[in-house]
């Protein structure tokens, strides 16, 4: 019991047990001691991971002060609840909770002005992020909900979407303007000689081949991302070529940890979560970034089909 990390983990486990029994959500108002070492990471490698119970539209936005998360539930076009969380320092510590209370029941159209009004009325101090960041993550979550409704997705499928857009309203446009589909190499079978190549011959023996077929039928340029450097180069090329938007697939942990790559590219994107083997859980992040991850991920073909249905069918089949 002399180890500080061990004491903290016991306290956290007790607190979470009480919260689960009472049906409550924990709000950690403590500001960490700058001299203290970081808390241990969980199985995904995330620090201060958010454990929301129900699947719902969820967005994230990285700032210099940390990562800000937002999750919402909507009835018709009004917010039932909008929740914020993140690895951030904020005073007063209950400020985000009070913002959540203010936003309950407001229409989605009033989301931005209500947040801006609350920021003016309730003094707060948050190093590294501000009003624009809160508006950004809230509107990204709202855009994700709208996408789910447009595509007639269930709650789990909507949760599996990850949207990126400097202007959240551009997320919807990405559905009809996407010109490329990016697939992770880790979703190709380990036995496939095309696993570490950008292309696919659509042999019909795996889900990736079907993804290539579906994407090409819609006129998308489909590319297998071979490593992290290749992702950066591919996004830079798409931007240089004037692509309006793209679709892609990656795990949620990668989207959070490598958010910078998507932000630097500046292209609207709709990303779909993948299942199966996860390099973060297997603690093989470095191998994955280098293109040497050996395990196999699993893409969500039903979700991809839903997303591609919204794309206009272009003349000719992309190669």
Residue 317: its pLDDT value, please?
Answer: 55
Say if residue 73 is exposed, middle or buried (CB neighbours under 10 Å; 0-12, 13-18, 19+).
Answer: middle
Which tens digits make up the pLDDT trace of 107-144? 999 999 999 999 999 999 999 999 999 999 999 999 99
Domain boundaries, the chain: 53-154, 160-309
Q: Residue 21: CB partners within 8 Å, gap ≥ 6? A: none
**DSSP letter for each residue of 182-205:** EEEGGGS-TT-TTTTSS-----SS
- Lowest model confidence (mean pLDDT) among 172-176, 196-200, 304-308: 172-176
User: Among 90, 65, 95, 85, which residue's Cα sits nearest to residue 138?
Assistant: 85
Which helix (H) or strand (E) is 7 found in, with range? helix 4-22
Q: Give yes or no for residue 7 having a pLDDT over 70.
A: no
What would the pLDDT profile of 22-48 be if each residue is shown by its tens digit? 454 544 433 333 332 333 333 333 334
Model confidence at 245: pLDDT above 70: yes
| Crossing angle (nearest 10°) for helices 131-150 and 170-177 | 40
Residue 113 is predicted with a pLDDT of 97
Examine the pLDDT at 104 and tell me if it is beyond 90: yes
What pLDDT sits at residue 291?
A: 82
Prior bond of 92 cis (ω within 30°):
yes
45-72 residue pLDDT tens: 333 445 555 678 899 999 999 899 999 9
Closest to 186 measured CA to CA, from 230, 233, 246: 230
Say which CATH superfamily domain 53-154 falls into: CO dehydrogenase flavoprotein, C-terminal domain (3.30.390.50)
Round to whole Å and give the CA distance between 72 and 95: 17
Burial 99-133 (b: 16+ CB within 10 A, else e): bbeebeebebeebbebbeebbeeeebebeebeeeb
Task: Return the pLDDT at 68.
Answer: 92
Sign of CA dihedral 10, 12, 15, 21: negative
Average pLDDT, the chain: 83
Instruction: For residue 108, give the DSSP letter.
Output: G
Residue 127 Cα distances to 47, 68, 118, 190, angstroms: 19, 13, 18, 45
What percent of the chain lies above the pLDDT cut of 90?
57
Q: Which of 149-153, 167-171, 206-210 has the highest mean pLDDT?
A: 206-210
Predicted confidence at residue 279, as pLDDT, reads 81
Confidence (pLDDT) at 61:
92
Q: Tell me how far apart the alpha carbons of residues 150 and 307 are, in angstroms, rounded to a whole number.
A: 10
Query: Is the separation of the CB atoms in 178 and 164 below 8 Å?
Result: no
d(CA 69, CA 88): 10
């Amino acid at each position: 019991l002399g180890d500080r990390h061990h004491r903290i983990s016991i306290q956290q486990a007790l607190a979470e047990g009480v919260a689960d029994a009472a049906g409550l959500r924990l709000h950690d108002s403590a500001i960490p001691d700058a001299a203290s070492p970081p808390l241990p990471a969980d199985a995904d490698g995330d620090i201060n991971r958010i454990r929301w119970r129900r699947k719902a539209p969820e967005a994230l936005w990285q700032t210099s002060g940390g990562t800000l998360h937002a999750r919402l539930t909507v009835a018709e076009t009004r917010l039932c609840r909008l929740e914020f969380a993140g690895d951030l320092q904020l005073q007063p510590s209950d400020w985000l909770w009070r913002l959540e209370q203010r936003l309950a029941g407001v229409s989605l159209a009033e989301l931005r002005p209500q947040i801006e009004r609350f920021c003016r009325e309730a003094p707060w101090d948050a190093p590294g992020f501000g009003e624009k960041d809160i508006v950004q993550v809230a509107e990204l979550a709202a855009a994700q909900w709208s996408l789910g409704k447009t595509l007639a997705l269930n709650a789990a499928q909507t949760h599996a979407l990850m949207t990126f857009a400097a202007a959240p309203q551009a997320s919807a446009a990405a559905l009809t303007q996407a010109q490329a589909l990016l697939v992770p190499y880790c979703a190709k079978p380990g036995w496939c000689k095309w696993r570490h190549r950008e292309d696919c011959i659509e042999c019909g023996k795996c889900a990736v081949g079907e993804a290539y077929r579906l994407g090409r039928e819609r006129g998308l340029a489909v590319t297998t991302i071979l490593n992290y450097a290749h992702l950066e180069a591919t996004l830079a090329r798409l931007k240089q070529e004037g692509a309006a938007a793209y679709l892609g697939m990656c795990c949620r942990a990668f989207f959070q940890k490598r958010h910078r790559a998507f932000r630097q590219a500046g292209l609207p994107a709709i990303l779909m979560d993948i299942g199966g083997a996860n390099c973060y859980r297997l603690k093989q992040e470095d191998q994955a970034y280098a293109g040497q991850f050996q395990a196999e991920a699993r893409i969500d073909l039903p979700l991809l089909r839903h997303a591609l249905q919204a794309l206009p069918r272009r003349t000719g089949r992309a190669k």
